[in-house]
Chain A
């Protein structure tokens, strides 16, 4: 799809949250529903001004459950939609993220993470929603989640999130954090013709031949929108290929493995890990989001001390890149996992490393980023 130039090409100095909002517009987002919550609010504020300029719709809903549902409704109305929130709102959205998974409704949910649990540190950074993004809604499902480390990445990953949502017909989560959301730095918007934008895959079939949940070869059904004359039924209940509820183990067995497999089966296309100085390294720092940025400094310091240390920067956190972790686990002494929570993704690293190397958690309860010395200390100890 040729992108309309709604986001001007050029260099801008802006915050991560604003870059996210612009990324959404560049990706074709024309509907945003949200509820104010620190530290994500600037995304809503920015889109409240920008969407009407380009014929899109902004609505501030009464709560986050309403916000995510309005996005789902707008998606079935034919638009690309997004909502943005932080921890408490993300918790409220969980049930309806499951609805999006079950009804295969493409949409983007941005979680600018802050310190939790509960109200926690409303204005300060956290990375404590990593596992919630994967497991937060009830039942078995797979999710795609990205994690930006800079405003530029926030811009780019928002576009990517919209593309993946359409390609996989699934909600895509962006697990940003307060520091990435609020830091301002240079963001480069490319010419629109350089952007790859995935359009919704609408069916060419006639209403008589079309079944809304009849998957084709890749396990992903084509879509229609309300008002096209297909008179579809869409339900969050277990359903058959026609979208009709079926309360049987057999219907569940036909549906759920397909929903899971459409993501699991294409893990290799989804996984995105930046492998920096890994060759010959004794220690790898495995990190994501703002903590990947904090790690750079510690790694540089370690290099100057002559320690062979590399980095695995997770741009996509779900699905988890277990093959890549496994590959390197054979070749290094230790993997260090700094994260602004009390140890979440480290569990996945441990699982994937499967005892082939030491896995060291460098937790942080939130409210601030790691001091690089703490990560450096862990590197030094692990290299001994």
Chain B
């Protein structure tokens, strides 16, 4: 017997601001898939949505926070990670997620990305990489592959691109994975792992931008871009950081590159500072045990 599964409501309604739909993303864009995977992962794994905050920067992916029905912050370009840092430290019980684009996180915000990884803050960063600045009309990004055409590399890109998994791992992250938006099941699982990971977790999501990246690089429809990603990505059960670079002619390796244990920023803080505070500075001075340096 068939079961009635049609409902009036969106199945992910409890964690999406459906009143804001339709969203701003283009037909064929992968951002809706990434949003859906995130929302599904939250619901499937019964994360407490009241104890979750999503921070985005600026750009197409920057709109992510605004569609999620959790405490959500749409900050300035590149600054989602430091905003998240303050929020996390003010209330470590929150699960704080930075969901933003490649230009935001490793372009203008690159410095914050490496420093947050270095500190091993207990944050999850989901970086959607579409190889281009989409919102501003298709300019070269720090992730644009060599040779690719953009509106500011009309002769083909001649700048080397960032290798996000290697950058994250080298900077101190404890969990690093990469998926394409075709790897929905694995992406959902990976989001769950990253959210439960103690420490700085990074997921790169390779996503098609047919409107700009595709149109300028002979992959003008969503289907063509999806086919391209399907044909040019390779899942490896034990993906190695050595093969994380996205280079011309090689497959884009997807999978989990790193999953290690390391004390977090707050654990290190507690270990270092916690035991040392026995008496307030002024109490010492008032008790005459220590002289005020300028008295």
Interface of A toward B, CB cutoff 8 Å: 7-8, 10, 12-15, 31, 33, 49-50, 52-54, 57, 59, 61-63, 65-67, 69-79, 81, 95-96, 99, 184, 225-237, 244-245
Contact A99 B75 (CB under 8 A): yes
A-B interface, 3 closest residue pairs, ranked by CB to CB distance from nearest:
A77-B90, A73-B86, A70-B86
A53-B75 in contact given A62-B115, A74-B87 (Cβ < 8 Å): no
Partner of B286, one of A10, A15, A226, A245: A10
Whether the pair A227, B65 counts as a contact (CB closer than 8 A) is: no
CB contacts between A and B, total, < 8 Å: 152
Cα distance A192–B53 when bound, in Å?
35
With a CB–CB cut-off of 8 A, which chain B residues contact A50?
281
Most chain A CB within a 10 A radius of its CB, from B74, B86, B112, B280: B86
Q: Is B154 in contact with chain A by the CB < 8 A criterion?
A: no
Interfacial residues of chain B within 274-295, with CB under 8 A of chain A in the complex: 277, 280-283, 286, 292, 294-295
Please give the distance in Å from B84's CB to the nearest CB on chain A: 6
The answer to whether B51 has its CB under 8 Å from any CB of chain A is yes
Bound together, the chains give a CA A85 to CA B188 distance in angstroms of 42
Q: Which of A33, A62, A228 touches B86 (beta carbons < 8 Å)?
A: A33
* 15 A–B pairs (Cβ distance < 8 Å), ordered by A: A31-B89, A33-B85, A65-B82, A66-B81, A66-B85, A69-B76, A70-B83, A70-B85, A72-B75, A76-B87, A77-B86, A77-B88, A227-B53, A228-B50, A233-B73
Tell me the complex Cα distance, A59–B89, Å. 9
Residues on the A chain within 8 Å of B294, using CB: 13-15, 184
User: Are A79's CB and B74's CB within 8 A?
Assistant: no
Query: Contact between B90 and A74 (Cβ–Cβ < 8 Å)?
Result: yes
Contact B75 A244 (CB under 8 A): no
Q: Interface size of B by Cβ–Cβ distance < 8 Å?
A: 46
Q: Is B151 on the interface with A (CB-CB < 8 A)?
A: no
**How many angstroms between the C-alpha atoms of A226 and B112 in the bound complex?**
22
**Complex Cα gap A96–B112 (Å):** 15
Q: For residue B87, which residues in chain A have a CB less than 8 angstroms away from its CB?
A: 73-74, 76-77, 226
Inter-chain CA distance A72–B243, complex, in Å, is 38
Is residue B66 within 8 Å, beta carbon to beta carbon, of the partner chain?
A: yes
B281 touches A77 (CB 8 A): no
| One of B70, B88, B89, B273 near A231 (C-beta < 8 A) | B70
Instruction: Report yes or no: A233 in contact with B90, Cβ–Cβ below 8 A.
Output: no
User: Could you tell me if B51 and A227 are in contact, using CB atoms closer than 8 angstroms?
Assistant: yes
B46 within 8 A of A: no
B73 neighbours in A (Cβ, 8 Å):
73, 76, 233-235
B71 touches A231 (CB 8 A): yes
A270–B89 Cα distance when bound, in Å, is 32
Contacts of B49 in A (CB 8 A): 231
Given contacts A49-B281, A53-B277, A96-B79, contact A226 B84 (CB under 8 A): no
Nearest neighbor of A233 in chain B, beta-carbon distance: B72
Cβ of B93 under 8 Å from chain A: yes
Contacts of A231 in B (CB 8 A): 49-50, 69-72
Cα separation A226 to B17 with both chains bound (whole Å): 17
- The verdict on B33 contacting chain A, using a C-beta distance below 8 Å, is no
User: Would you give the shortest CB distance from B75 to chain A, in whole angstroms?
Assistant: 6
B20 within 8 A of A: yes
List residues of B whose CB falls within 8 A of some A CB: 17, 20, 49-51, 53, 55, 63, 65-66, 69-76, 78-79, 81-91, 93-94, 111-112, 115, 273, 277, 280-283, 286, 292, 294-295
Residues of A with C-beta under 8 A to B82? 33, 61-62, 65-67, 69-70, 73
Q: Is the CB of B292 within 8 A of A13?
A: yes
**Contact of A226 with B89 at beta-carbon distance under 8 Å, contacts A69-B79, A73-B84 already known:** no
| Partner pick for B66 among A73, A99, A233, CB 8 A cutoff | A233
Q: Are A57 and B295 in contact (CB under 8 A)?
A: no
In the bound complex, residues from chain B placing their C-beta under 8 Å from that of A225 are 91
Q: A69-B79, A73-B88 are known contacts. Are A227 and B94 too (CB-CB below 8 A)?
A: yes
Q: Tell which of B63, B76, B112, B292 has the most Cβ of chain A within 10 Å.
A: B76
Q: What chain B residues lie within 8 Å of A226 (beta carbons)?
A: 53, 71, 87, 91, 94
Q: A13-B292, A61-B82, A73-B55 are in contact. List 18 more A-B contacts (CB 8 A).
A: A7-B282, A33-B82, A57-B89, A63-B111, A66-B85, A69-B83, A73-B87, A73-B89, A75-B86, A76-B71, A76-B86, A95-B76, A226-B94, A228-B50, A231-B71, A231-B72, A233-B65, A235-B73
Assuming A69-B75, A95-B76, A231-B71, is B292 touching A77 (CB within 8 A)? no
Give Cα A175–Cα B71 distance, bound, in whole angstroms: 33
Give A54 to B283 CA distance when docked, in angstroms. 12
Q: How far is it, in angstroms, between the C-alpha of A13 and the C-alpha of B91 when the chains are bound?
A: 35
Partner of A62, one of B53, B112, B286: B112
Name the residue of chain A whose CB is nearest to the CB of B17: A233
Contacts A12-B292, A63-B111; is A233 near B86 (CB within 8 Å)?
A: no
Contact B281 A53 (CB under 8 A): yes
Q: Which residues of chain B are near A54, meaning CB under 8 Å?
A: 280
For the complex, give the distance between the alpha carbons of A354 and B9 in Å. Answer: 63
Q: Within 8 Å CB of B292, what residues of A?
A: 12-14
A52 to B89, CA, bound (A): 13
Least CB distance from A289 to B in Å reads 22
* Bound CA–CA A235/B77 (angstroms): 12
Smallest distance from the beta carbon of A24 to chain B beta carbons, Å? Answer: 15
Question: With the chains together, A191 CA to B92 CA distance in Å?
Answer: 32
B115 contacts across to A, CB distance below 8 A: 61-62, 66
Interface pair A227/B91, CB less than 8 Å apart: yes
Question: Given that A50-B281, A54-B280 are contacting pairs, would A235 and B90 also be in contact in the complex, using a CB cutoff of 8 Å?
Answer: no
Inter-subunit contact B89/A227 (CB<8 Å) = no
Measured in the bound complex, the distance between the Cα atoms of B40 and A271 in whole Å is 53
* Chain B residues within 8 Å of A13, by CB: 292, 294-295
Q: Contacts of B111 on A, CB cut-off 8 Å?
A: 62-63, 66
Q: Give complex CA distance A74, B92 in Å.
A: 11
Which residue from chain B places its CB closest to the CB of A245 in the assembled complex? Answer: B66
Q: How far, in whole Å, are A7 and B280 apart by their CA atoms in the complex?
A: 10
